[in-house]
Amino acid sequence: MARRLDIPALNELLKGGKAALARALAAVEAAPDDPRTVELLDAAWAAPRATVAGLTGPPGVGKSTLTNAMVAEWRKRGKTVGIIAVDPSSRRTRGALLGDRTRMVTDPADQGVFIRSMAARERLGGLADLTFPALVLMRAVFDVVLVETVGIGQSETDIADVADTVVFCIQPGSGDSLQFMKAGIMEVPDITLVTKADMGPAASRAVADVRGALGLSEAPSTGWQVKVLTVSATKGEGVAGLVDEIEAHGKHLSADDILPGKRRNQGLSWVRSSLGGRFGREGLSLVAEEISSDAQRSPFALHADLSSRLQRKWRDGDH
């Protein structure tokens, strides 16, 4: 007989610490269609608490070192932090290749920091299939949620579909800044960050290149002016300014009432992506209009309903 999953309610999650959150995330992964899982995700969707920051950029740019520094700064300010770290997949196990998080240094006893590793698997946009449901859960529990993507290229911009604030990292002297001038990814960040600023002239050139690239991109529709910052995470320089800028962008979204619509669009984008991955383009086309027109239900309730209907159609051969 299969063991019944322990799926905590949201109020249990809020007072249950890391162990309760780990159980909830395991349930989301193992039984995403279980009514209790959907109920938990619905409750979390209705009670957002955290700002969600997305940290992305090419491999080797220093994202994990920067994550360490940012977490330390947030904890210094009394903020609790949830981290979703998306890693390359193991060919053998299909799990997260760097799932032991050896690149991150946090105190395991600190109940104010929680790290969850996820394997990207076949996803090419820098994220994992479970990133969005996991961050919605963590968004209801922590003050800040940080999503660190696997290293991405020029056209992989999925991070914009989950994060409130996107921080795009560029390394001096890598040539990336020039390449990104002609790439769609320069339309994604809210903050562009030149890492390893202690490299001196190379960092200054990278800043100039990035500003040139932003000058060729269309201005964000939110009215936010994309910032170009520099940081040296190993020396701790510029980290406080970066955290300040993330907070400023969050206030901008809230003050202009942009955030609810942005998050709603993210939820619908997840529904389309998940159903498309499960039922293919043909299946998605059968419910596409309903996804676009349903502005009332949470994305998880909507997903569960449409998924159940498509499964019945497939089972009955009515497609």
Q: Residues 6 or more apart from 35 whose CB is under 8 A from it?
A: 304
Whether residue 275 contacts residue 284, with contact meaning beta carbons closer than 8 Å, is answered with: yes
DSSP 121: T
pTM score, whole prediction:
0.87
Integer-rounded Cα radius of gyration of the chain? 20
Nearest to 87 by CA among 50, 51, 115, 52: 115
Rounded Cα–Cα distance for residues 238 and 232 (Å): 6
Nearest to 80 by CA among 14, 143, 22, 13: 143
Helix (H) or strand (E) holding 228: strand 227-230
DSSP 151: P
Please give the chain's pLDDT, 319 residues, in tens. 345 677 888 998 888 888 899 999 998 988 888 999 999 999 999 999 999 999 988 888 888 899 999 999 999 999 999 999 986 544 444 444 444 344 556 677 788 999 998 875 444 444 667 889 999 999 999 999 999 987 655 445 788 889 999 999 888 876 655 565 555 667 788 999 998 888 778 888 888 888 877 776 666 667 888 889 999 988 889 999 999 999 999 999 998 789 999 999 999 999 999 999 889 999 999 999 999 888 789 999 999 999 999 998 877 766 5
Distance of alpha carbon 45 from the chain centroid? 15
DSSP string, 73-137: HHHHTT--EEEEEEEPBPTTT-SBTTTT-TT----TT-TTEEEEEEE-TT--SS--TTHHHHHHH
Q: Find the DSSP H helices in 86-189.
A: 131-139, 176-179
DSSP 174: S
